[in-house]
Amino acid sequence: MRSAVASAGPALTRDDFQSDQDVRWCPGCGDYSILAQVQRVLPELGVPKENIVFISGIGCSSRFPYYMNTFGFHTIHGRAPAIATGLKLARPELDVWVVTGDGDALSIGGNHFVHLLRRNLDIRVLLFNNQIYGLTKGQYSPTSEQGKVTYSSPMGSIETPFNPMRVALGANASLVARSLDRDTKHLQMVLKRAHEHQGTAFVEIYQDCIVFNKDTFAPLTDRETKDDNVLYLEHGEPMVFGKERDKGIRLDGLQPRVISLTDGQHSVADLLIHDEHDRYGTLSDILATFQERVGFPRPVGIVRNIERVCYEDVMLEQIDKAMARSGPGDLAALLAEGDTWTVGPNGS
């Protein structure tokens, strides 16, 4: 729940959202772009600046609130969702954003992350996924690929990585989206859609760590390769991709297939149509598997967007109901509830 009031004051600009702190990410870090897109989008949302709160955990991404001229709380490694939950329950009218990273959200904070999505508070979660621990100087993260050689895995990481989208869908997140730091227009669109959503909006943002994991997402962001590797999802549209828009996704039974639209055997009519609102998540579950399928494009955009009741709305409804049923609480009556007895002045 957020109050629907638009700002009555003068229109805000990107500058209004820049704090007086020097930004201290490594030059060239993808975080700069994400910060810029958030600062560009916020003035268009009509929310008074003082009602916006950024809450972060620990890690490079989590320095984000210091650079926003809104309310900001840089908290504890992994715990931002819990702190954001308390704030939202106490102040549902606020516009609360959680900024986190792959280590923060999926390793140390995995528990709070899934429970926030499950409860569906009206909060936006921006997960900057660079598939590495940056702030601690380059250890493998829960999203690093198997076999990754880092300081803590000199012979290669043994671990199977998390697919963040699958984790979010497994927690029944009501909005699941993905975008890229380098694709500024797309990222702005996704941020706006996430903000429109009533419920927990999970946005995975591929972010380039130029120091410890440089160019991990280059195939998805480089001009020459990206169109062949990225599937831009649009609700109600067939799943077409490729530089020449010559490829698509078809469903054979339960298995998606990449098909050619130029081989004379298939046409757009054969393709899967994207449906954000697929209630049971069958389609989004399939889309989430693309990153594990060889030769498949990486879906970006709004993967899932369904309506689910927000936790805080029901909490307030219950309070209203309790007040309607028995009237507002009377403390004196409560203290004297149950069996009481009176002792007279003479101790009788």
Partner 1 sequence: MTQRLEVVNEVTIRFAGDSGDGMQITGDQFTNTSALVGNDLSTLPDFPAEIRAPAGTLAGVSSFQVHFSSFDIHTPGDSLDVLVAMNPAALKVNLGFVKPNGIIIANTAQFVSKNLRLAGYAEDPLQDGSLASYQVFPVNITELTAHALADIPDLTAREIERCKNFFALGIVFWLFHRPMEHTIRWIEDYFTKRRRPKYVAANVSALKGGAAFAEATELFATTYEVRPAPLQAGLYRNLTGNTGLALGLLAAATRSGLQLFYAGYPITPASAILHDLSGYKRFGVRTFQAEDEIAAAGAALGAAYGGALAVTGTSGPGIALKQETISLAVSVELPMVICNVQRGGPSTGLPTKTEQSDLFQAIVGRHGEAPLPVIAASRPSDCFDAAFEACRVAIKYMTPVILLSDGYIGQGSEPWRIPSVPDLPKIDVPERPAAEGFAPYLRDPDTYARPWAVPGSPGLEHRVGGLEKSDVNGHVSYAPDNHETMTLNRSKKVALVAREMPPLEVHGDPDGGKLLVLGWGSTYGAIRTAVERCREAGQSVSRAHLRWLNPLPEDLGDTLAKFERVLIPELNLGQLLTFVRAKYLIPAIGLHKVQGVPFTASEIQSAIEELL
Candidate residues 23, 89, 135, 211; the one interacting with partner 1 per rule CB under 8 A: 89
Query: How many other CB atoms are found less than 10 A from the CB of residue 23?
Result: 16
Closer by beta carbon to partner 1, 265 or else 348 = 348
276: left (phi > 0), else alpha (psi -120 to 50), else beta? alpha
- Residue selected from 35, 38, 87, 287 as contacting partner 1 according to rule CB under 8 A: 87
With contacts defined by CB under 8 A, name the span among 87-95, 128-136, 160-168, 186-194 that binds partner 1: 87-95
Environment class of 43 (CB within 10 Å of its CB; exposed 0-12, middle 13-18, buried 19+): middle
Exactly one of 44, 93, 215, 244 binds partner 1 (CB under 8 A); that residue is 93
Single out the segment in contact with partner 1 by CB under 8 A; choices: 186-194, 281-289, 300-308, 339-347: 339-347
Question: CB of residue 306 vs partner 1: minimum separation in angstroms?
Answer: 22
Cβ proximity to partner 1: between 104 and 276 the closer is: 104
| Cβ nearer to partner 1, comparing 78 with 281 | 78
294 makes contact with partner 1 (CB under 8 A) = no
What gap in Å lies between CA 243 and CA 186, rounded to an integer? 17
DSSP 3-state of 205: strand
Q: Which of 265, 263, 180, 190 is CA-nearest to residue 227?
A: 180
Residue 91 as a binder of partner 1 (CB under 8 A): the answer is yes
What phi and psi, each to the nearest 5 degrees, are found at residue 151?
-60, -35
Q: For partner 1, which residue of 13, 152, 260, 326 counts as binding (CB under 8 A)?
A: 326
Task: Measure the CA–CA gap between 212 and 154, rounded to whole angstroms.
Answer: 14
Contact status: 309 vs partner 1 (CB under 8 A): no
Token duo for residue 23: 């930004």
135 in contact with partner 1 (CB under 8 A): no
* Residue 90 in contact with partner 1, rule: CB under 8 A: yes
Stretch that binds partner 1, among 43-51, 151-159, 221-229, 240-248 (CB under 8 A): 43-51
* Residue recorded with tokens 């709305």: 313
Minimum Å gap between C-beta 16 and partner 1 is 10
Given 2, 40, 115, 166, the residue binding partner 1 (CB under 8 A): 115
Cβ closer to partner 1: 91 or 245? 91
- How far, in whole angstroms, is CA 26 from its chain's centroid? 23
Residue 325 interacting with partner 1 (CB under 8 A) = yes
> At its nearest, how many Å lie between partner 1 and the CB of residue 339?
6
Secondary structure (DSSP) of 259-283: EESSSSS--GGGSPBP-TT-TT-HH
Residue 113 CB, shortest distance to partner 1, in Å, is 10
C-alpha–C-alpha distance, residues 186 and 163, integer Å: 21
Rounded (10°) CA dihedral 242, 244, 245, 248: -50
Measured in degrees and rounded to the nearest 5, phi and psi for residue 74 equal -90, 110
**Which residues from 66-85 bind partner 1, rule CB under 8 A?**
66, 68-76, 79, 81-85
Using rule CB under 8 A, residue 110 touches partner 1: no
Burial label, 198 (beta-carbon count in 10 A; 0-12, 13-18, 19+): middle
108's tokens: 């140390």
Residues that bind partner 1 in the complex, under the rule CB under 8 A: 19, 21, 48-51, 53, 55, 58, 65-66, 68-76, 79, 81-91, 93-94, 111-112, 115, 315, 318-319, 321-323, 325-329, 331-332, 334-345, 347-348
